């Protein structure tokens, strides 16, 4: 009996191995078969089609079609676009150190980075690009302008700029340099005893810069009561930098993130490797809907290990890890190879790309399928939808009039005029736009087109379209027109009704002229609701510990 059982067992194992080998061979056969068909199809099409077909364009279309079956983070990167990939990893690129915006016929300089070639040449925000290397910039697409500005360090750009007030044109010879966009864009104090660090991306050495910023805050103020790490709008970057940053506040040998994918030999656990700087100081991490990837790894680790609180809005929900693979002719494949998991074991990926509807569209993981996990201290947390904040703050919605003024560049243009009319102003913390100066802005808008539809008007238009399709509109036409008339907005009244937020936007843009990169951030701290909540929690030890699930 024992011998027959063994024979049966070995027979079943043999069959399993045969079926497994068959399945694998079947898969590789299908790949080889379809590659042969694809090559033959292209050969016949190229030989006999009545017109010449551009091979590079045709193959690019084929690659794009294949990528449609994957997630948006898996991508083909040709050699000419490798600089973009390098910038995402290092924060460095070859160029002149400026941001631009194209509005109508012309492109304006919107930001000049401190210490950049443009800054050294005396170029200011508001300057208008007239020509680039002898080619007129009028009606030039913004992407084309950007290509002119970028280039190998050491090469020279000849650029003609027009002064926004005097209209005087001046030629500059700008030598491109290796531009390093700093991942820590601002370090300071919200109050005298609460530190604030704004981090914009996870690139090489970004954790070192955060550590240096934190150590400086502690050195300058030994009585520091807490620190706010602002990761709002941070799209992420290098996973290793997220682990190193977490290590500043989390003790050695703690699991921060693990990765699991199809290639099991690539699965990894990432733990803190160094002695931390401070494991006791109250810590608040700010997140928003656009905080993603490495930013979510840090927020997830801080939350799961009960090291601090997450405040703001639910994060984006990108729980996928990408790896670059070499391709012929210096091209690269950026491919999703794994999912990452926070210390509690949850994957916070919000969109399920493995299951699509009939239209081929991926959707969010439904709440009914989100699983529950617990933090180190036993607090409940969920997977499948980004990082939920411990203290949620409603996202501030700008009014339609404010959005239109930003989009039309009127706030930017007024700040330019203000800058040249006022040689010096108070610092960001003390600067306030007077009522007279706001009135000057209202007069500045006279005769300018900033028409827009309010959200109520848009909803009413949608109602009319639906009623017309369903044949109800004719009977409601009079009532609709009367309601439309009542809702018609007065643009000047809308300016006054939304004066506070428009004034704040003006003050931020004006401060950015006098204190590039940091002025806008520092000025915004005085009315930032997320920061206000973070400061309140740091100042209230009982509430802070309560949200962490700790007994007072």
What are 406-422's pLDDT values in tens digits? 999 999 999 999 999 99
Residue 81 DSSP class:
G
Does residue 293 register a pLDDT over 90? Answer: yes
- Please, which residues bridge with residue 515 across strands? none
Query: How far apart, in Å, are the Cα atoms of 178 and each of 15, 82, 151, 160, 201?
Result: 61, 15, 9, 22, 18
The model's confidence at residue 35, banded by pLDDT at 50, 70 and 90, is confident
- Range with the poorest average pLDDT among 17-31, 61-75, 227-241, 520-534: 17-31
SS3 477: helix
Does residue 300 register a pLDDT over 50? Answer: yes
Residues 204-224: tens digit of each pLDDT = 999 999 999 999 999 999 999
φ and ψ at 513, to 5 degrees? -75, -40
Q: What is the per-residue DSSP string for 240-288? A: HHHHHHHHHHS-TT-EEEEEEESSGGG-EEEE--S--S-SSS-EEEEE-
The model's confidence at residue 272, banded by pLDDT at 50, 70 and 90, is very high
336 closest CA partner among 90, 119, 67, 98? 67
Q: Average pLDDT of 178-186?
A: 94
Query: How far apart, in Å, are the Cα atoms of 342 and each of 211, 294, 372?
Result: 22, 11, 13
Give the max Cα distance, the chain: 102
Residues 335-352: tens digit of each pLDDT = 999 999 999 999 999 999
d(CA 188, CA 162): 35
- Range with the poorest average pLDDT among 169-178, 394-403, 526-535: 394-403
The model's confidence at residue 178, banded by pLDDT at 50, 70 and 90, is very high
Tell me whether residue 383 is one of the annotated catalytic residues.
Answer: no
Residues 304-337: tens digit of each pLDDT = 999 999 999 999 999 999 999 999 999 999 999 9
Helix H or strand E encompassing 106: strand 106-112
Q: What percent of the chain has pLDDT over 90?
A: 73
Does residue 84 register a pLDDT over 90? Answer: no
Does residue 86 register a pLDDT over 90? Answer: no
Dihedral-angle region of residue 12 (phi above 0 means left; psi in -120 to 50 means alpha; beta otherwise): alpha
292 closest CA partner among 231, 338, 336? 231
Cβ atoms of residues 419 and 411 within 8 Å: no
The model's confidence at residue 81, banded by pLDDT at 50, 70 and 90, is confident
| Residue from 206, 318, 413, 528 carrying the catalytic annotation | 318
73 closest CA partner among 236, 279, 272? 236
Cβ atoms of residues 107 and 140 within 8 Å: yes
Query: How far apart, in Å, are the Cα atoms of 394 and each of 139, 386, 389, 454?
Result: 40, 16, 11, 21
Tell me whether residue 293 is one of the annotated catalytic residues.
Answer: yes
Query: How far apart, in Å, are the Cα atoms of 55 and each of 59, 75, 331?
Result: 6, 20, 16
| pLDDT value of position 487 | 58
Q: What percent of the chain has pLDDT over 70?
A: 93
d(CA 515, CA 125): 11
Tokens 């590659």 sit on residue: 35
| pLDDT value of position 6 | 43
Q: What is the per-residue DSSP string for 378-435? A: S-EEESSSSPPPSEE-PPPPPPHHHHHHHHTTHHHHHHHHHHHH-S----TTT----H
Dihedral-angle region of residue 355 (phi above 0 means left; psi in -120 to 50 means alpha; beta otherwise): beta
**Under 8 Å CB-to-CB from 292, ≥6 apart: which residues?**
234, 235, 236, 315, 316, 317, 318
Tell me whether residue 304 is one of the annotated catalytic residues.
Answer: yes
Residue 146's CB: how many other CB atoms inside 10 A? 15
d(CA 75, CA 88): 14
Tokens 């399920």 sit on residue: 352
d(CA 540, CA 194): 12
Does residue 85 register a pLDDT over 50? Answer: yes
Tokens 């401060």 sit on residue: 511
Total-model pTM:
0.87
* Angle at 86 (CA atoms; ends 82, 87), nearest 5 degrees: 115
φ and ψ at 27, to 5 degrees? -65, -50
**Under 8 Å CB-to-CB from 535, ≥6 apart: which residues?**
190, 191, 194, 228
Does residue 443 register a pLDDT over 80? Answer: yes
d(CA 44, CA 47): 5
Q: Would you state the structure tokens that stand for residue 356, as one six-digit string?
A: 């699509």
What is the total residue count of the chain? 552
Residue 153's CB: how many other CB atoms inside 10 A? 14
| Residue from 304, 413, 494, 528 carrying the catalytic annotation | 304
Does residue 4 register a pLDDT over 60? Answer: no
Tokens 């027109």 sit on residue: 481
288 closest CA partner among 91, 512, 531, 540? 531
The model's confidence at residue 17, banded by pLDDT at 50, 70 and 90, is very low
| Residue from 246, 258, 293, 344 carrying the catalytic annotation | 293
């Amino acid at each position: 009996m024992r011998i027959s059982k063994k024979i049966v067992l070995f027979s079943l194992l043999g069959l399993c191995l045969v079926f497994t080998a068959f399945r694998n061979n079947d898969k590789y056969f299908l790949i080889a078969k379809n590659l042969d068909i694809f090559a033959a199809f292209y050969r016949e099409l190229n030989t006999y089609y009545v017109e010449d077909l551009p091979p590079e364009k045709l193959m690019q279309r084929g690659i794009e079609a294949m990528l449609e079956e994957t997630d948006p983070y898996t991508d083909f990167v040709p050699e000419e676009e490798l600089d973009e990939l390098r910038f995402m990893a290092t924060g460095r690129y070859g160029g002149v150190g400026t941001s631009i915006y194209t509005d109508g016929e012309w492109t304006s300089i919107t930001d000049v980075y401190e210490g950049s070639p443009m800054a050294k040449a005396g170029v200011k925000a508001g300057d208008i690009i007239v020509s680039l290397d002898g080619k007129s910039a009028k009606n030039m697409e913004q992407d084309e302008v950007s290509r002119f500005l970028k280039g190998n360090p050491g090469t020279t750009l000849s650029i003609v700029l027009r002064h926004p007030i005097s209209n005087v044109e001046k030629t500059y010879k700008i030598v491109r340099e290796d531009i390093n966009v700093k991942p820590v864009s601002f370090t300071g104090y919200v109050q005298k005893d609460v530190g604030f660090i704004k981090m914009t991306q996870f690139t090489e050495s970004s954790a070192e810069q955060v550590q240096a910023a934190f150590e400086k805050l502690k050195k300058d103020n030994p009585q520091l009561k807490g620190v706010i790490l602002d990761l709002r709008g941070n799209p992420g970057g290098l996973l290793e930098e997220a682990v190193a940053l977490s290590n500043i506040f989390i003790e050695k040998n703690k699991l921060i993130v693990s990765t699991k994918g199809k290639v099991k030999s690539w699965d990894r656990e990432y733990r803190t490797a160094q002695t931390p700087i401070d494991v006791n100081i109250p810590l608040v991490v700010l997140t928003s809907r656009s905080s993603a990837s490495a930013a979510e790894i840090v927020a997830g680790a801080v939350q799961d290990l009960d090291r601090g609180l997450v405040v703001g809005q639910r994060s984006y929900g990108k729980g996928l890890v990408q790896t670059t693979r070499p391709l012929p002719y210096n091209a690269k494949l950026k491919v999703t190879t794994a999912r990452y998991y926070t210390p509690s074991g949850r994957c916070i990926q919000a969109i399920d790309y493995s299951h699509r509807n009939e239209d081929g569209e991926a959707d969010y993981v439904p709440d009914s399928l989100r699983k529950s996990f617990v933090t180190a201290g036993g607090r409940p947390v969920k997977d499948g939808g980004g990082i939920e904040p411990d203290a949620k703050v409603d996202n501030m919605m700008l009014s339609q009039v404010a959005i239109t003024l930003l989009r039309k560049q009127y706030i930017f243009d007024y700040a330019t005029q203000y800058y040249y009319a006022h040689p010096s102003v108070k610092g960001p913390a003390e600067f306030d736009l007077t009522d007279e100066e706001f009135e000057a802005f209202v007069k500045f808008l006279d005769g300018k087109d900033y028409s827009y539809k309010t959200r109520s008007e848009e909803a009413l238009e949608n109602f009319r379209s639906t009623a017309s399709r369903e044949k109800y509109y004719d009977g409601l036409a009079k009532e609709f027109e009367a309601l439309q008339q009542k809702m018609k907005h007065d643009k000047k009244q809308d300016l006054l009704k939304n004066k506070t937020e428009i004034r704040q936007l003006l003050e931020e843009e004006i401060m950015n002229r006098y204190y590039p990169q940091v002025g806008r951030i520092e000025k915004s701290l005085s009315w930032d609701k997320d920061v206000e909540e973070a400061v309140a929690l740091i100042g209230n030890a009982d509430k802070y510990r309560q949200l962490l699930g700790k007994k007072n």
